Structure 1
Amino acid sequence: MSIPPPPGPHRPEDPYQPPQPPNPYPQDPFAPPQRPYAQDPYAQDPYAQDPYAQDPYARGAYGPPGYQSPAGPQGPYPQAPYGAAPYPVWGQGYSPYGRLPAINGLAVAALVLGILCFLPAVGLVLGIIALAQIRKRGERGKGMAVAGSILSSVGLALWVLALATGGAADFWQGFKEGAGARSGFSLAKGDCFDMPGETFDGDVYDVDEVACAGEHDAEVFATVPLSGRSFPGDDRVTQVADDKCHRLRDAYAMDPWALTDKADVYYLTPTSESWNLGDREITCVFGPVDDTGTLTGSLREDETTLDADQLTFLKAMAAVDEVLYQEPEDSAEGASAADLTWAGSARDVTGAQAVALGAHTWSATSRGPVAALVKDMRTESEEWAAAAKATDADGFYEHYETAYGYVDGRSTVTAREALGLATTPPLYDDGSDSGGGGTGGGDSESGLDV
């Protein structure tokens, strides 16, 4: 009697396969049923062809995600067997697809330096470093790094060639010469320069600044700004220059004895054309009296170049000279009231400056000569006082000439020598070398347009 096989599909055991060990884990009751013919290459799997695989509603082929057919979530046909997903599910959130990698910054710098041919060695090094970083980081900019390296290499080669042939020295010399050329209205106090032409006549558009220690055509001693929006006119500009430049000259060159007769006062003035370009100042300069001559060394003697003793002495002498310059014109009556008043002013200023010089503490070398000068200044003050009291012309001029005998006299020269100042008295309008201090150099002014 034989035992019938259990219901359901059955396949004979393959005698050539080794026995299968029992499954130690119980079957999941919720797992889908096993297909008995899935591993049999000869048997036809009845589930291999899914009759519902082409159901458009079962796989959600129509409508947006979550769309349900009228027949229900599964459509009119059952879902594909074994829990197969109807369509792939994409992850939620931001997707980085399509974003380009960053550009390497050193590659950009290498390209810029290569194009400008500036610091070619630096541009070449940056290009090489940029290529290494791009390979390592996956950044963009390889083309820029390569181009910058090539251009920097070419620039470096040109620099080496220029240094070898002397071209760089010529370029630097030309650059310095170009930088030294300055506009006439951009000069500053204390600058020395050469004129583009042979004389000071005509318009001046630019000058060449040079060192004041050597030979030069002119030296700036002051600048006078002009106000107003419109050009005031050539006559008005010239009038302002005549007045201001004379006053400012004495503040720059405090020692009139140091101004030789070869130096004169000039000024550069704006024109109507340069005014519209921003030229709004007068430039006061020392220049040679002779158009073909030159100046040597700086004429500057002020607080920036003088010591305390020299400064005290020159201020006292300048105060006396200022009053002496105000001497009235000769009158037909002889000693007029104006002459007497002026003589009284000379008495006062000479006595006051004698007191100021006597109160100053002088160095050992200058103490004695200055004391002798102070004694003469007190005697001079007494003569001016006597002139101020004169009742007739003869009495006035007698004391007048005696007082002037002490002005720039022997004691003044000795004190100057002890102080290290100029010892040659300047020439005055009448050609003499005594009286009143003097102006130093010619007394004519010339104006130049810039």
Structure 2
Amino acid sequence: MSIPPPPGPHQPQGPYQPPPQYPQGPYGPPSHPQPQGPQSPYGPYQPWVQGYSPYNQPAPVNGLAITSLVFGVLCCLPGVGLLLGLIALRQIGRRGERGKGLAIGGSVLSGLGLALWVLMLATGGASSFWEGVKEGARNGASISLVKGECFDAPGGSLGGETSDVDKVPCSGEHDGEVFASFRLKDGTYPGDDSVSSTADERCYGLQDAYAMDGWAVPDDVDVYYLTPTEGSWSAGDREVTCVFGNVTEGANLTGSLRNDATVLDPDQVAYLKAAHVLNAALATAPDTEYVEDDLPGHKKWAGRVSAALAEQARMLRANEWPADAVGQVTVLASDLDKARAEWAKAAQAKGLDAFYRHYDTGLKLLDPKKAVPARKALGLETTPPPDDKGDDRSGGSSGGGSGGALAV
């Protein structure tokens, strides 16, 4: 029998226990002893540990880096894109996330965009850019037509609403010819009736500047206009386009109606300018059915006509006419003087009978046929139009004819 040696200072009391054995894995024994669980008759208990995945899990991409790149590419908010890019770089370094290249790219692009915006503000380019944007919105909201252009309307009608027209040469058949345009005042939409009323008044007043010789405008032609709708108004559309169109359903215009200083000679322009002075005064007649309904108003109107006749005669005598037209123009000026005297007496009439007497005489002296010899000598149209159209006539057109509106 052997007696074991006495226990040393570092030896446990009791029977000798062999050192614990650890199972050998494919990677060798663990570097640190694993905690022992309850003993099992089959050996030491191995606690559960997290298993090993054969596939690596990649680090996530930083979301701010992606956002920074988007802002940098779009260049819409360069300051925000630059700030997000710098924050993303800091987060990536601290969290070990991916997306460093995205953050750097977004920061660089945003920085360039920010520098461009600063340069545009310093040079006024931003203002020009914004005006271009607004102009583009207006063009997108309205039909782009300029004076002298001709077009065909959808269905051949110059009424109702439309979003587009087809531009065509004026030399052929067409539905309308643009003779003027103007912009309405900014503000809230004034309403359909207000827009149409303004367009009617302004367009009828502008037609003479484009078609100076009213005798050359066909009898079945009247004034139409393209106006903004409430919808296009909200997009910045303020444009009213004045056009000539045919009042006969299904009929077209053929050839341009333009006759102004661009196509007339100086003598023709001088004659027509003098004629327009009288036409403008005649068009201011009181809006009453009978003279007796507003005799004071008609007397004031007669005074305006008398003054216009004096000015017309003065303008005719002031121009140096061609030799073959001097005689005819001189005779016409003398007839205007005689008519002026009668209209002046009508303006001073003491009663209704006296007004009618001088008014009737003065009106006969304004017979359009008296202007035919002078017109023929100057190469202008010689067929007088109906009483409600043209110039060199006894009445004027103040607007409100049979034309209409095409809303856009």
Common topology (TM > 0.5): yes
1:295 shift after superposition: 0.5
* Superposed counterparts of 1:149-164, under 5 Å: none
1:433 shift after superposition: 11
**Contact 2:183-2:239 within 8 A present in 1 as well:** yes
1:335 shift after superposition: 8.5
Q: Partner residue of 2:248?
A: 290
Q: Pick from 134, 153, 159 the counterpart of residue 201 of structure 1.
A: 159
Q: Pick from 170, 185, 198 the counterpart of residue 212 of structure 1.
A: 170
The question of 1:341 aligning with 2:300 is answered: yes
**Contact 2:160-2:405 within 8 A present in 1 as well:** no
| CA distance in 2 between partners of 1:251 and 1:208 (Å) | 25
Could you state the TM-score of these two structures normalised by the residue count of structure 1? 0.55
Q: Pick from 181, 194, 204 the counterpart of residue 246 of structure 1.
A: 204
Q: Partner residue of 1:428?
A: 387
Q: One-letter code of the match for 2:386?
A: L
CA gap 1:352/1:441 in 2 versus in 1, 3 angstroms: closer
Bigger RCO of structures 1 and 2 (CA < 8 A, at least 6 apart): 2
SS in 2 for 1:231: coil
**Contact 1:220-1:285 within 8 A present in 2 as well:** yes
**Contact 1:256-1:440 within 8 A present in 2 as well:** no
The question of 1:390 aligning with 2:349 is answered: yes
1:358 shift after superposition: 0.9
| CA distance in 2 between partners of 1:346 and 1:332 (Å) | 16
The question of 1:281 aligning with 2:239 is answered: yes
Q: One-letter code of the match for 1:205?
A: S
SS in 1 for 2:143: helix
| CA distance in 2 between partners of 1:442 and 1:207 (Å) | 24
1:381 shift after superposition: 1.1
Q: Render the CA deviation track for 1:321-341: whole Å, top value 9, x for unaligned.
A: 111222233557589333333
The question of 1:312 aligning with 2:270 is answered: yes
Q: One-letter code of the match for 1:221?
A: F
* Superposed counterparts of 1:356-435, under 5 Å: 356-429=315-388, 435=393
| CA distance in 1 between partners of 2:394 and 2:194 (Å) | 31
* Superposed counterparts of 1:7-406, under 5 Å: 185-228=143-186, 230-328=188-286, 329=288, 333=292, 336-406=295-365
SS in 1 for 2:345: helix
**Contact 1:381-1:403 within 8 A present in 2 as well:** yes
1:285 shift after superposition: 0.7
The question of 1:443 aligning with 2:386 is answered: no
1:210 shift after superposition: 1.3
1:410 shift after superposition: 2.9
Q: Which structure shows the bigger proportion of residues in helix conformation?
A: 2
Could you state the TM-score of these two structures normalised by the residue count of structure 2? 0.60
**Contact 1:263-1:442 within 8 A present in 2 as well:** no
SS in 2 for 1:390: coil
| CA distance in 1 between partners of 2:302 and 2:335 (Å) | 17
| CA distance in 1 between partners of 2:307 and 2:167 (Å) | 45
Number of residue pairs matched by the alignment: 268
User: 440-449 or 190-199, which moves further after superposition?
Assistant: 440-449
RMSD value over aligned CA atoms? 2.8
- Which is higher, the Rg of structure 1 or of structure 2? 1
| CA distance in 2 between partners of 1:365 and 1:184 (Å) | 49
Q: One-letter code of the match for 1:340?
A: K
In the alignment, structure 2 segments of 5+ residues that lack a partner are: 1-139
| CA distance in 1 between partners of 2:237 and 2:231 (Å) | 9
Q: Render the CA deviation track for 1:138-170: whole Å, top value 9, x for unaligned.
A: xxxxxxxxxxxxxxxxxxxxxxxxxxxxxxxxx
| CA distance in 1 between partners of 2:347 and 2:227 (Å) | 44
CA gap 1:409/1:239 in 2 versus in 1, 3 angstroms: closer
CA gap 1:206/1:312 in 2 versus in 1, 3 angstroms: same
Q: Render the CA deviation track for 1:242-264: whole Å, top value 9, x for unaligned.
A: 22111111222122212211111
SS in 2 for 1:197: helix
Q: One-letter code of the match for 2:339?
A: E
| CA distance in 2 between partners of 1:253 and 1:343 (Å) | 26
Q: Partner residue of 1:51?
A: none
SS in 1 for 2:160: coil
CA gap 1:441/1:424 in 2 versus in 1, 3 angstroms: farther
1:376 shift after superposition: 0.6
1:293 shift after superposition: 0.3
In the alignment, structure 1 segments of 5+ residues that lack a partner are: 1-181
| CA distance in 1 between partners of 2:161 and 2:258 (Å) | 26
CA gap 1:196/1:403 in 2 versus in 1, 3 angstroms: same
Q: One-letter code of the match for 2:370?
A: S
SS in 2 for 1:193: strand
| CA distance in 2 between partners of 1:373 and 1:194 (Å) | 41
CA gap 1:440/1:339 in 2 versus in 1, 3 angstroms: closer
**Contact 1:350-1:377 within 8 A present in 2 as well:** yes
